[in-house]
Amino acid sequence: MSTDPVPPAPTTAPASTPPHPRAALHARLLVWFDVHRRDLPWRAATATPWGVLVSEIMLQQTPVVRVEGPWTAWLERWPTPASLAAAPTDEVLRAWGRLGYPRRALRLQQCAAAIVERHDGVVPTAEADLLALPGVGSYTAAAVTAFAHGRRAVVLDTNVRRVLGRLTAGTALPRPHLTQEETRRADALVPGDDATSARWNIAVMELGALVCTARSPRCDDCPVRDLCAWRAAGYPADEHAAARRTQAWHGTDRQVRGRLMAALRDATGPLTREELVAVAGSGDEQAHRSLDSLVADGLVSGDAESFVLGR
């Protein structure tokens, strides 16, 4: 079955790609954002830079609806980098719960410790300093620069890359990996002043989340549809579909690791290797391999036969 987006059929397809006046894009999209923006807790005026950083880590590969509750509980428990840095690792992993990719929880705690050690417990404002923190990549550093500190940055997550790719390059979906050309085009569109650039970044992101979605874009609701190169080209299919195929979830080591982590989170004491193999729901070889990989990642610790969550 094809997973290509199925947009509404265009009534007319212009023969050539329309121009992209920056002023029109900025004005229309920012007006649209003011009306349609979601009320998310990490966007509130009371949200701290630390709260924004936590949200960005939690939102990596995880939908907003699954993050809102855990984010609120996390900030109530660990409202500062110093409080998280001092927390026991097993408590951090239990609080992470079922957000997925639990190594993110360890990286976030390591990030908190680095902020305490290098920046006196205050989330740094310089993008280069953010990028040097454990677990912080180029997207997260740019997002915190823009959304926590209100400074100009080029924020490129999946939603932004998809919107800008359709608008400026006429591509259905971006390449699996970010390119220098994408970054250059995005930088050229980001407004020059700090306040407007921060709003622009989040507005483009919001358009991608709510309207210009991957599979079912609502092109009739798009405020800049007449400036869209993808629409002008007649909505060509995803040219990178073959490179985007991923392994099914069922039966993978990731699934087994998740079961093992869930059992250890719920346990009141250590579990034996035999008990963990029993809950893995897989063959013995895969269960042992998955358990050993959790130990190697620092998510689980213990001796040869008894294991607990954390280090």
Q: For 177-206, what is each residue's pLDDT tens digit?
A: 999 999 999 999 999 999 999 999 999 999
Catalytic residue among 56, 127, 182, 206, which?
56
| Residue whose C-alpha is closest to residue 280's, from 269, 291, 294 | 291
pLDDT of residue 12: 46
Full-prediction pTM beyond 0.95? no
3-state secondary structure of 78: coil
Going across the sheet that includes 306-309, the strands are 271-272, 306-309, 300-302
Q: How far is the C-alpha of 195 from the C-alpha of 199, rounded, in Å? A: 7
Higher pLDDT, 46 or 268: 46
Whether 259 has a pLDDT exceeding 70, the answer reads yes
pLDDT of residue 310: 85
Q: How far is the C-alpha of 228 from the C-alpha of 29, rounded, in Å? A: 13
Question: Which tens digit of pLDDT belongs to each residue from 94-127?
Answer: 999 989 899 999 999 999 999 999 999 999 999 9
What is the separation of C-alpha 69 from the centre of its chain, rounded to a whole number of angstroms?
A: 16
Model confidence band, residue 245 (pLDDT cutoffs 50, 70, 90): low
pLDDT of residue 288: 87
Whether 75 has a pLDDT exceeding 50, the answer reads yes
Which helix (H) or strand (E) element contains residue 271? strand 271-272
Measure Cα distances from 304 to 44, 85, 90, 272, 274 in Å: 47, 28, 19, 9, 11
3-state secondary structure of 298: coil
Whether 76 has a pLDDT exceeding 50, the answer reads yes
Q: Judge whether 165 and 236 are in contact, CB under 8 Å.
A: no
Backbone angles phi, psi at 161, to 5 degrees: -60, -40
Higher pLDDT, 29 or 21: 29
Model confidence band, residue 247 (pLDDT cutoffs 50, 70, 90): low
Q: What average pLDDT score do residues 281-302 get?
A: 89
For the chain, the first-to-last Cα distance in angstroms comes to 44
Q: How far is the C-alpha of 257 from the C-alpha of 103, rounded, in Å? A: 12
pLDDT of residue 3: 45
Query: CB count, 10 Å around CB of 24?
Result: 14
3-state secondary structure of 301: strand
What per-residue string of b and e applies to 185-194 under the rule 16 or more CB within 10 Å gives b? bbeebbbeee
Model confidence band, residue 7 (pLDDT cutoffs 50, 70, 90): low
pLDDT of residue 11: 44
Q: What average pLDDT score do residues 15-28 get?
A: 71
Q: How far is the C-alpha of 10 from the C-alpha of 5, rounded, in Å? A: 14
pLDDT of residue 91: 96
Q: What average pLDDT score do residues 16-32 get?
A: 79
pLDDT of residue 283: 83
Whether 301 has a pLDDT exceeding 50, the answer reads yes
Task: Using CA atoms of 93, 97, 100, 104 in order, give the dihedral in degrees to the nearest 10.
Answer: -30
pLDDT of residue 173: 96
Question: Which tens digit of pLDDT belongs to each residue from 215-236?
Answer: 999 999 999 999 999 999 999 9
Whether 238 has a pLDDT exceeding 70, the answer reads yes
Q: How far is the C-alpha of 31 from the C-alpha of 213, rounded, in Å? A: 19
Q: Judge whether 151 and 196 are in contact, CB under 8 Å.
A: no
- The residues, any chain, with a CB within 8 Å of residue 132's CB and separated by 6 or more, are none
Model confidence band, residue 168 (pLDDT cutoffs 50, 70, 90): very high
- The residues, any chain, with a CB within 8 Å of residue 116's CB and separated by 6 or more, are 81, 82, 85
Share of the chain above pLDDT 70, in %: 92
- The residues, any chain, with a CB within 8 Å of residue 38's CB and separated by 6 or more, are 64, 206, 209, 210
DSSP letter, residue 166: I
pLDDT of residue 303: 81
Q: What average pLDDT score do residues 132-148 get?
A: 96
What does the mean pLDDT of the chain come to? 90
Q: Name the one residue in this structure whose structure tokens are 């008990």.
A: 275
pLDDT of residue 284: 84
305 carries an active-site annotation: no
What is the CB-side half-sphere exposure of residue 105 using CA atoms within 13 A? 28
